[in-house]
Structure 1
Amino acid sequence: MRIPKFALAFLFAVCVVVYLTYVKHHYDDKKPALLKQPLYTPALHSHTRPTSAEVVSEEFQYGIMFDAGSTGTRIHVFKFLLQRNESPKLAHETFKAIKPGLSAYADDPDGCAEGILTLLDVAKDGVPALQWKSTPLVLKATAGLRLLPGEKANHLLNKVKEIFKASPFLFVEEGVSIMDGTDEGVSAWITINFLIGGLHTADTPTVGMLDLGGGSTQITFSPKDEITIQTSPDDITSFQMFNLTYTLYSHSYLGLGLMSARLAVLGGTEGQPLQEGQELVSPCLAPDYTGQWKQTEVTYTIRGQKAGEPIYESCLNKVEKMLYKKVKKAENLKDMQFYAFSYYYDKGVDLGIIDAKVGGSIRVSDYIEGAKQVCNNMDSSSEGNPFICLDLTYISVLLQELGFPVDKVFKLARTIDGVETSWALGATFHFLETLRTQSLTPEQFGGQADIGQ
């Protein structure tokens, strides 16, 4: 019996399809789990009922970000919900903070291990065990390590890499590093605009971001005019997010975070102890106040000047001299909405203008008037918050030097929908997208060639 040519052709085509299906399935099983499921490409849903493990791997992506700041280390465990043809949504965040910061172990790198391991236990509780090998583990250090000598900072980072590599999570060599100040500002901008819905469509307006940390301060916004772009080329950066391109002005000022600024106004130098018996004397402290203050592991004896001169005017003069020609004014900021974080928030709480839990709004003039009132009513009994005059005066001058008018209103928020308004979320988005677009091989994932198998 002769087989018709059509039947032979059909049989051959079926064999080819079966072979190609087998090859593709075999190849996919060898790829890292992270790359099999890109962050921004939701998995297809099946009509059959999936197992619980399949639901986790198909619908959610996890990311772990360690924020190694100047005063403490914080872990963020993010759980992202992936949906077809939509940008990812943050389904949950697990957060924990410990003190001191990594920089406190500059002379004893092994000493940081206990704290890092404690935070890794938080990550294990926050990520399903089946997802550990496909969940990237990232640590970004900020101003605290940027201010350390290079060799000491590298010893600390190498210790963290050693701990991360031994963990069950996805270790990427480039995932442990000192964060550039501009990247910190851009990542915080991504976070706030993602949380308020400003990144989902091209016509949605975005907001600017101000962050005042301990060692550095950042300003980031999307310029609405070509003048800013043309006159500040070194501060302009562009990137893609959710298939849209964003152009931002972002500048980070290392050494102008609140803790570093305190020391500079008091007359000290970062990381340099005083001579025996020497004190830092400042008109920004209460008259006849004497105390000790620790900054970057150096303890300083500080003292206020004797009563006589107006405290606010004297402190204002010191702050203005310290900031002279250190800050660039940005143009056309008056009509742009800004969110302000970190110490801007804390000092708003100290003034009683915003609620400690829910935040609120504040004007530049509120910081100015608050500084005048606090400074001119201090005495040696103000030991609970001896720096409040200096801090408020510094913030009021800094904002004006950045280009904000005295009637400018800022929104202060510590969290939005329960998520901390830090750079961590934006940096996690960026890191996951980088892994996806670079199509890294298993061998490039910190040597963990068995990931996803």
Structure 2
Amino acid sequence: MPPPTVVDPWFASRRFGIVIDAGSSGSRLQIYSWKDARTVRLEQGADALRSLPQVGKGTENGEEWSVKVEPGLSTFGDDPDGIGPYLVPLLEHARTHIPPSLQPDTPLFLLATAGMRLLAPEKQAEVLQTTCHFLKFHSNFKIDEPSAAGPCGSSVRIITGEEEGLYGWVAVNYLMDGFKGSDDTPLTYGFLDMGGASTQIAFEPSREEQERAQNLIDVRLRRLDGHDINHKVFVTTWLGYGTNQARERYVGQLINEYEASRTLSTGAEEHIDDPCLPKDLMLTNTPVQPDAASPHAKTPHKFVGTGSWEQCLERTLPLLNKDTPCPDSHCLFNGVYVPPIDFNASHFIGVSEYWYSSEQSFGLGGPYDFVEYERAAAEFCAKDWTDILKGHEETRQKGHLGGDGEVEEGGVVVDTGKWGLDVEIRRLQMQCFKAAWIVNVLHEGIGMPRIVDPEGNSTTSGEKVAAQAQTKGLGRPSFQSMDSVGDIAISWTLGKMVLEASREVPAATAQARPIVDPLDDIPDISTSPVQPIRPPFIDFDAFEDKISHHLPHSLTRHSLGFSPIAFAFYLLICAFCAATLYRMRHRIRGTVRRFVNKRDRTYLSEGFMMEEGLSLTGGAPASSPSRLSKFISPLTRLSSSLGLRASRPSPISVSREPSLRSGQYSPARVSPLRSFSFPPQPKGQNGLTVQDEPNGTATSYVPSSPRLPDGSFMSNGSVSSLQSRSRNSSHINLSSLAPRQTVSRTLTGMYHGQSASYRDEE
């Protein structure tokens, strides 16, 4: 399918953005689009400009805006070469739906979540590097340059659970018009997300609480009129408090209680009654995180469901660890600080497990009614398991199951589940427990009241919020579970694109700061409660953990306070650099000397030029002596072997004066450092070289009696005068005087002749 063209009216003034959600079970590419802010300013009125850019599905045919490939990107941790073919279908889908002329301005983000967090840091870095390289060199989309965030900046990286919560908070309030409230009375919605291993909360405290709250993160967006809107959001994550991980802790708790109360005289195999399983359901469970203090914790045990909703609520309540000491003034559960929440004014939206556990089995997704929800959960738990299976066969094809299936151990995600063919059976088995866990988290953990006074929110602002929710088919309760609003799914990827579209809106003033991701807006990220994931180039701690059992305890990083592996590595690098510099010391010393003496060479060059009467500004630039030395060195060695006094080659070359007329000679003084040149000349009488005159006559030059062309003696009789010559005339060439011995004798006679002339003058 060829890509579309901008000739289509639908593409007029349209901007695009791409997000690849690299999850544990697969990677989903989603295309978003919005109208250019400048065009909207011209086409719409002032009221429309007080809103954010309208971000929606990025294809004219809404069904083609998203595509998914399997498995997850994290499966290529041991095979990075397979990442390229894995990403090809995603890039081809994007290229076929975005015009080529718009692709260079279309930002592309690949943001990895649960699965990539499981990999070792060195594998994370390798996967991100390979992914970045492929996306950058096999597509024309806009990708960030390398930075501290990663090899492709913020375009390819791993995001934390808190970042998912922030993006989800933006997406929920964007879809629910939560950003249209006034600055004095913000009407933003809170965001709740629960997965298999963790649960998150993100909300904006009241104005009064913002003055006392801690660890708030600034979220800045830009409206179409160019003005910014600012919100201070609190976000936190409870690791180990997702549904799957809570179930594992619950199983371990039941096994420990059973082993402590079992009598030693009982020899028959028994089972454990589980009130959180449907009636008569039998399962064999072994806790993923066994208690080391209990020898029976690693032994598989049989669980038989009793289907008691009240007992299930009671047995799961201690898993919240509400008795954990609170280091701050206000905590919800497990000692985690959360600012106080005013549920009369704050409305929360729950996604993921909040939606699945409400809608998949009970059909109660949407506005949350505590009484109705508990009644449906109690009826489900009390059903016989065989009856539940019969009903399941009738509705097998209905609904969509989700969740990441994360398993967390010691604050670290150690496993992720994959939805298989029997996932619906597994969900039905755990439905009673998950429903009880959600109720306890909402009411006992977060503190949401079970009964809310209908008149408690009867304010003008509250009525507006209720009217907005009513137009979207939603009620007015303080909490509601949702999966989508209209035809747009609630996803953190949407929140990311809202930020990106807001970033492209021109600011109303030149002093406005650019819109960035919330974590990039923190002045000092080291003190932030949300720490971004930055895989190191070399993870010394991970390497040391592999060999720690071979090291003495005194040499581990826990006893030394630093990593000895890292210290040894950097020490080896320093030793290598020192050895390399020592081997190259002579080259380095020569280079330094040449650099230092460069000024002296320039000074000597200027001195020779002044001595010869040449202009310091009009001369040609000095040539490199190293290049001339290739040709001068052989001549120097030759003259030395013939017994001549070697002349030192001049390190400079100077410009000559303009040529004189033919027949005229200008005896210029030659630098003592200049080498001789002897071009061939015709031989005259007695083996001497003769000078041809323009009229065809020849004049002999006798070494003992140097003459000028007019026949007169030279003024000083010096042999150096023989070196002065016209630019247009031939000059003496001793190299053409046949054998080397002849040259030597001739030159010797020249020197004797020079001595004789001195004696005559005396």
TM > 0.5:
yes
1:411 pairs with 467, 480, 497, which one?
A: 480
The residue number in structure 1 matching 2:190 is 208
2:309 is equivalent to residue 306 of structure 1: no
For 1:46-65, list aligned pairs within 5 A.
52=6, 59-65=13-19
2:30 is equivalent to residue 76 of structure 1: yes
1:171 pairs with 125, 135, 143, which one?
A: 143
Contact 1:209/1:339, CA 8 A, preserved across alignment: yes
Please give the per-residue CA displacement for 1:390-422, whole angstroms capped at 9, x wherever unaligned: 211111111120121123632333222311111
* Structure 2 Cα separation of the partners of residues 439 and 344 of structure 1: 32
2:220 pairs with 227, 234, 239, which one?
A: 239
* Structure 1 Cα separation of the partners of residues 188 and 515 of structure 2: 30
Contact 2:285/2:302, CA 8 A, preserved across alignment: no
For 1:333-372, list aligned pairs within 5 A.
333-354=343-364, 360-372=366-378
The residue number in structure 2 matching 1:332 is 342
2:204 is equivalent to residue 222 of structure 1: yes
2:492 pairs with 412, 423, 427, which one?
A: 423
* Structure 1 Cα separation of the partners of residues 205 and 342 of structure 2: 8
Contact 2:284/2:302, CA 8 A, preserved across alignment: no
2:383 pairs with 377, 384, 388, which one?
A: 377
Contact 1:364/1:405, CA 8 A, preserved across alignment: no
The residue number in structure 2 matching 1:323 is 320
Contact 1:64/1:136, CA 8 A, preserved across alignment: yes
Q: 1:406 to 1:134 in 2, by over 3 A?
A: same
Please give the per-residue CA displacement for 1:36-69, whole angstroms capped at 9, x wherever unaligned: xxxxxxxxxxxxxxx9469788711110011223
Please give the per-residue CA displacement for 1:184-221, whole angstroms capped at 9, x wherever unaligned: 22211211222233324635732222222344322222
The residue number in structure 1 matching 2:179 is 199
The residue number in structure 1 matching 2:246 is 261
Task: For structure 2, list consecutive stretches of 5 or more residues without a partner in the other structure.
Answer: 59-64, 145-151, 254-270, 289-297, 322-332, 390-424, 453-476, 506-512, 517-762
Contact 1:291/1:301, CA 8 A, preserved across alignment: no
Q: Greater relative contact order: 1 or 2 (C-alpha under 8 angstroms, separation 6 or more)?
A: 1
Task: For structure 1, list consecutive stretches of 5 or more residues without a partner in the other structure.
Answer: 1-50, 269-279, 441-453
The residue number in structure 1 matching 2:54 is 89
Contact 2:217/2:233, CA 8 A, preserved across alignment: yes
Give the deviation of 1:90 after TM superposition. 2.2
* Structure 1 Cα separation of the partners of residues 448 and 166 of structure 2: 20
SS at match of 1:305: strand
Give the deviation of 1:223 after TM superposition. 1.6
The residue number in structure 1 matching 2:474 is none
* Structure 2 Cα separation of the partners of residues 367 and 393 of structure 1: 10
* Structure 2 Cα separation of the partners of residues 156 and 365 of structure 1: 48
Q: 1:159 to 1:128 in 2, by over 3 A?
A: same
2:90 is equivalent to residue 119 of structure 1: yes
Q: 1:310 to 1:412 in 2, by over 3 A?
A: closer
Contact 1:237/1:249, CA 8 A, preserved across alignment: no
* Structure 1 Cα separation of the partners of residues 143 and 28 of structure 2: 18
Please give the per-residue CA displacement for 1:309-338, whole angstroms capped at 9, x wherever unaligned: 664455435533332143556421243222
**Larger Cα-atom Rg:** 2
* Structure 2 Cα separation of the partners of residues 103 and 282 of structure 1: 38
* Structure 1 Cα separation of the partners of residues 450 and 118 of structure 2: 32
Partner amino acid for 1:423?
W
* Structure 1 Cα separation of the partners of residues 6 and 337 of structure 2: 54
SS at match of 2:179: coil
Contact 2:15/2:35, CA 8 A, preserved across alignment: yes
Query: How many residues were matched structurally?
Result: 368
Please give the per-residue CA displacement for 1:92-118, whole angstroms capped at 9, x wherever unaligned: 341233444334444444555554332
The residue number in structure 2 matching 1:387 is 430
Percent of aligned pairs with the same residue? 26
Contact 1:266/1:282, CA 8 A, preserved across alignment: no
* Structure 1 Cα separation of the partners of residues 132 and 285 of structure 2: 35
Give the deviation of 1:341 after TM superposition. 1.3
* Structure 1 Cα separation of the partners of residues 301 and 70 of structure 2: 27
The residue number in structure 2 matching 1:132 is 103
Partner amino acid for 1:208?
G
For 1:92-107, list aligned pairs within 5 A.
92-93=57-58, 94-107=65-78
Structure in which a larger fraction of residues adopt strand: 1
* Structure 2 Cα separation of the partners of residues 292 and 102 of structure 1: 30
SS at match of 1:120: helix
Q: 1:200 to 1:123 in 2, by over 3 A?
A: farther
Give the deviation of 1:304 after TM superposition. 5.1
Contact 2:107/2:143, CA 8 A, preserved across alignment: yes
Partner amino acid for 1:89?
Q
* Structure 2 Cα separation of the partners of residues 312 and 131 of structure 1: 56
* Structure 2 Cα separation of the partners of residues 302 and 53 of structure 1: 66
Contact 1:143/1:216, CA 8 A, preserved across alignment: no
Partner amino acid for 2:493?
A
For 1:181-196, list aligned pairs within 5 A.
181-196=161-176
The residue number in structure 1 matching 2:439 is 396
Q: 1:236 to 1:351 in 2, by over 3 A?
A: same
Give the deviation of 1:226 after TM superposition. 2.1
The residue number in structure 2 matching 1:290 is 283
Q: 1:260 to 1:120 in 2, by over 3 A?
A: farther
Partner amino acid for 1:239?
R
Q: 1:63 to 1:291 in 2, by over 3 A?
A: farther
